[in-house]
Structure 1
Amino acid sequence: MGMIGMKKTVYDKHAKDYDSWYDRNPVVYASEIEAIRKLMPSDTGKNSIEIGVGTGRFASKLDINCGIDPSVSMLEIAACRGVRCIKGVSEALPVKSSSMELALIVTSFCLMDADLTLQELHRILTPEGHFIIAFVEKNSILGKKYRKKAPKSRFYRNIVFRTTEDIVSLLEEHGFGDITVMQTLFKPLNLIHRPEEAEKGFGRGSFIVIKARCIKNE
């Protein structure tokens, strides 16, 4: 079950609660933003989109042109942050083929059908366009914590946690290459008191950012 299924109703009902996490964890949020920013191409212009945009916390800070999400409640908050919003799902994107230079997914890939989503991303990206995915690494400090609390959590129940190797393999299987990996959040969240500097690679950080190029044989 991907974004089309029941998981979206949780975010409709608890959009403000979800969004408030970033207000309670501003240093963590800043660290995540900077890690993504390090991999952002400089020439995406207006042709950029965040899939699973949620409340627009990342799109608004990273100058992403528009965002897609199935949750109307989340999109209402994102619109207040200046994000151009489209209601839709990752598995059937209402976007023209080869029209986007950059696509971003932040911490919501675990809610999506991986194969259908990556097929759609490959379709909408221009040749040489980029896809950036940010997620909590399954075997990291934070990943282990989230997996432990998942059965009782309204947000984490039934989601799919993946390792960095899992994500890289999926990207390569679906026509993406030239992969770069960054990491941040090297300590438990309660011990992070200032924004962290992201590092290349993976294996230490809980928050992973991967940039991959869309390869099309045209």
Structure 2
Amino acid sequence: MTKIKSKKLNRLELNQEKFNQGAEDFEIWFKNNENLFLTELNALAKMITKPEKCLSVGIGNGLFAEKLDIKKGVEPSQAMADLARARGIEVKAGKAEALPFADRSIEQILLGTILAYVEDKQKAVSEAYRVLKKGGEIIVSILPAESSFALLYRLAFLEGHYRTELSPKYPYPMDFLAGTDWLSTEELIEIMEEVGFKNLEFRQTLTKHPKYVNDEVEKSIPGYKKGDYVVVRGEK
């Protein structure tokens, strides 16, 4: 992957630049971790009730959206958005904290791990609330700050490399770890409730150690205290 030039960037600019430069590496990582991908996908599929009316914010390369039959998205990285468009998805340029949609115009919104990359998490959730219709739903997926995955990523970033004895065969690209800020499940619940979302539901998966999580596809289960991948659905 091409090295990012050293300059002062905010979190959005930093992540946009590295994803522009490494979009293909992101695709390769998911191909090398197909079971992990399917495990996360299955958990999301349990929560997405209206894919034809769902907006994916931070849609990335569109890999999840394509499999979930989501047809619209928002993405700040041009390279990632181009990959999503190649999958037949309509993608608008924009960021989670300033969605390019009118008030009360969307029925369902997916924030797929995007909160680890935004500058203002509460603003991003508030924007979702703003554009959702009354009774609309938000679905948020996170790798919780307290999870073994987030701890592994933090350790790798601090040490500058992955430890082979702790890590999966194909670990998440190091360049994508800079600028991340993992959110705990409790923090997410607090933000969602403060913004006004109610009737929160949870699903969790990725219950194995990260080194072995790609060995097989896992089913998701209700709750959020066992899994390293947590999906929350709330109602406006």
TM-score, normalized by the shorter chain, greater than 0.5: yes
Task: Give the equivalent residue in structure 2 for 1:155.
Answer: 176
- Partners of 1:124 and 1:47 in 2: CA distance: 13
CA 1:45 to 1:13, structure 2 compared with 1: closer, same or farther past 3 Å? closer
Matching residue within 175, 193, 197 for 1:172: 193
Corresponding letter in the other structure for 2:75 = D
Matching residue within 8, 11, 20 for 2:16: 8
C-alpha displacement of 1:45: 6.0
Task: Give me the CA root mean square deviation.
Answer: 1.4
Please tell me whether residue 62 in structure 1 is matched to residue 68 in structure 2.
yes
- Partners of 2:123 and 2:183 in 1: CA distance: 16
Flag structure 1 segments of 5+ consecutive residues without an equivalent: none
Task: Give the equivalent residue in structure 2 for 1:130.
Answer: 137
Q: Is the 8 A contact 1:53 1:68 kept in 2?
A: yes
Matching residue within 39, 42, 46 for 1:38: 46
- SS in structure 2 of the partner of residue 173 of structure 1: helix
Task: Give the equivalent residue in structure 1 for 2:30.
Answer: 22
CA 1:47 to 1:73, structure 2 compared with 1: closer, same or farther past 3 Å? same
Query: In the comparison of the two structures, how many residue pairs are matched?
Result: 211
- Partners of 2:217 and 2:90 in 1: CA distance: 28
Q: Is the 8 A contact 1:150 1:158 kept in 2?
A: no
Q: Residues 19-77 of structure 1, C-alpha deviation per residue, up to 9 Å, x if partnerless?
A: 21110000010000000111122xx3643200000000111111112011111100111
Q: Could you tell me the TM-score, scaled by structure 1's length?
A: 0.92
Q: Residues 94-149 of structure 1, C-alpha deviation per residue, up to 9 Å, x if partnerless?
A: 11211111100112211112122112111110101000011111111212111212
- SS in structure 2 of the partner of residue 38 of structure 1: helix
- Partners of 1:167 and 1:73 in 2: CA distance: 29
- Partners of 1:62 and 1:45 in 2: CA distance: 7
Task: Give the equivalent residue in structure 1 for 2:115.
Answer: 109
Runs of 4+ with >4 A deviation? none
Corresponding letter in the other structure for 1:196 = E
